[in-house]
Structures are given as structure tokens and as C-alpha cells.
Structure 1
Amino acid sequence: MDEILADAGIRTVLTGIRIPRMNAVMKRWVQSCRRELLDRCLVRNERQLRHALREYERFYNRHRAHQALDQAAPLRAVPAPITDPTRIAELNIRRRDRLGGVLHEYSHAA
């Protein structure tokens, strides 16, 4: 099996024997990917699937809020809270659509 994966350009990573949660973490990622991406779009070929998975990976790691990280993304810290009432009343939120509107990123406009 390792040779078949290597021919396809996939590197096999063995998990440690003392890491019982590794499988659970990957199952959670696959479940999120299926629910948030693959259940919402029609994939026609492998090239389109790879592109969609790359975009979802970027979205998941750089933008999507994670409850376990106090609503931060793995590669982005939580922004400082806005406590000034005048700034809250004048918030300008921008939405960026990814993958034709399947994924949405929201940010404060400068």
C-alpha cells in the first residue's frame, strides 16, 4: 500500500503508538470537511476536488473559528475585543466568498 501511495505522490505518516486521539482528530476534520464543503458542492473531477480541498484547508486553518481555541483559528490569534460603543455602532463588516460562495470569510473593513 505504501508503494501505491508513494507513486501517487502521497507521503505516508505513521502515528505514534501513544497518541490514541490522533484518529479522533482526523475523523473530526474529515467530518467538518464533508459537512461544510463536500455536501454543498458538486465535484466533477480530481483537479476540482484538490482545488476545493486546498481552499478548505486554508479556510479551516486561517479563518474558521474553533471552539477549542476560544474562537480563534489555528493560524490566527483572536482579535482584541471592541469595547468602545461608538466603534461597535460603526462597524463595517466585509464578506469574502470562497469557492463560489460555499465558504464565507468575514472581516472588519479598515
Structure 2
Amino acid sequence: MHTAGIRYLIRDNAGYFTEGFGAVFTGLGARVVPILPGVPRMNAIAERWVGSCRHEAIDRVLITGERHLRLIVDEYAAHHNEHRPHRSLGQRCPDDVGTPEPPAADDRSRVVGRDRLGGLIDEYAQVA
């Protein structure tokens, strides 16, 4: 098993996750983090991200190996955090939370496009 990138294992509190299960990942250098008992949404948020990544990127590409998969996931994560609007964040991306709202588009506004993942994902931005 290639574990160079595994730093954390986030798991729920189900009884089938035994001490031995956690010990395997701890032995590989990963930190086992159980979701908090009073925070059931924690698992849902992680599952939502994985589902979005699969539906928008991974399921649409023929993956040729682990290195290729990591490239696809890293590119999608960058898109998700740096550009993709999130309804719960006021249509901002996570990296732009706390920044002022961009001006509304008008007739003089220019929009530029950028492809990610070879055109699988299109990003658009307003340019002054």
C-alpha cells in the first residue's frame, strides 16, 4: 500500500472500527480522527466532497494509475477551493471567504474562461 500522502484517517464511531483497525493506520504514520459524537454532519460534509469529486471529475476520466488519480483529485481540489461557488458561502469559494463581493457584471464587463482537467471543468472570471 502506498501511504506517502496519507496523513489522516477520518472515520465515524461505528463499532466495527476496532482498535486493530486504527493501529494499522497509526503504524503507517496516519493520525486516526474519529468524527465527534455530537457532530453527525462532519461525515456528511466529507461524503459530499467525495461525491462531488467523483461526479464532476473522476467518473468522467479513464484513470490510468495512482499518479494520474492524484493529479485529477489535486486539480479538482484546487478548483473546488479556489473557484467553485458554494451556496452556503454566499456564492464564494472557500479561499475567498472574507473578501469583498465582486462588482456586478454590466455591459462593459469582460469575462475570460479557463479550462481545467483538459476542458472537463470550465471556470469563468470577470475581468476589469
* Bucket of the pairwise TM-score, normalised by the shorter protein: 0.7 to 0.9
Count matched residues.
106
Instruction: Sort the Cα spacing of 1:103 and 1:7 in 2 relative to 1 into closer, same or farther, 3 A.
Output: farther
Structure 1 residue aligned with 2:102: 80
Instruction: Sort the Cα spacing of 1:6 and 1:31 in 2 relative to 1 into closer, same or farther, 3 A.
Output: same
- 1:41-79 CA distances to partner (integer Å, 9 max, x unpaired)? 111100010111111111111110111112111111463
Structure 2 residue aligned with 1:93: 111
Identity %: 39
TM-score between the two structures when normalised by the length of structure 2: 0.71
Unaligned runs of 5+ residues in structure 2 are 1-20
Two-structure CA RMSD over aligned residues (Å):
2.1
Whole-Å Cα distance in 2 between the matches of residues 69 and 15 of structure 1? 23
Aligned with 2:45 (options 11, 22, 25): 25
Counterpart amino acid of residue 106 in structure 1: Y
Whole-Å Cα distance in 2 between the matches of residues 67 and 17 of structure 1? 26
Instruction: Sort the Cα spacing of 1:50 and 1:17 in 2 relative to 1 into closer, same or farther, 3 A.
Output: same
In the TM superposition, residue 17 of structure 1 has moved relative to its aligned partner by: 1.5
Is residue 14 of structure 2 the alignment partner of residue 14 of structure 1? no
Whole-Å Cα distance in 1 between the matches of residues 73 and 23 of structure 2? 24
Instruction: Sort the Cα spacing of 1:61 and 1:43 in 2 relative to 1 into closer, same or farther, 3 A.
Output: same
| More strand, by proportion | 2
| More helix, by proportion | 1
Is residue 80 of structure 2 the alignment partner of residue 51 of structure 1? no
* Higher RCO (Cα < 8 Å, 6 or more apart): 1
- 1:69-106 CA distances to partner (integer Å, 9 max, x unpaired)? 12111111463332xxxx61122111111111112221
Unaligned runs of 5+ residues in structure 1 are none
TM-score between the two structures when normalised by the length of structure 1: 0.81
Whole-Å Cα distance in 2 between the matches of residues 10 and 98 of structure 1? 30
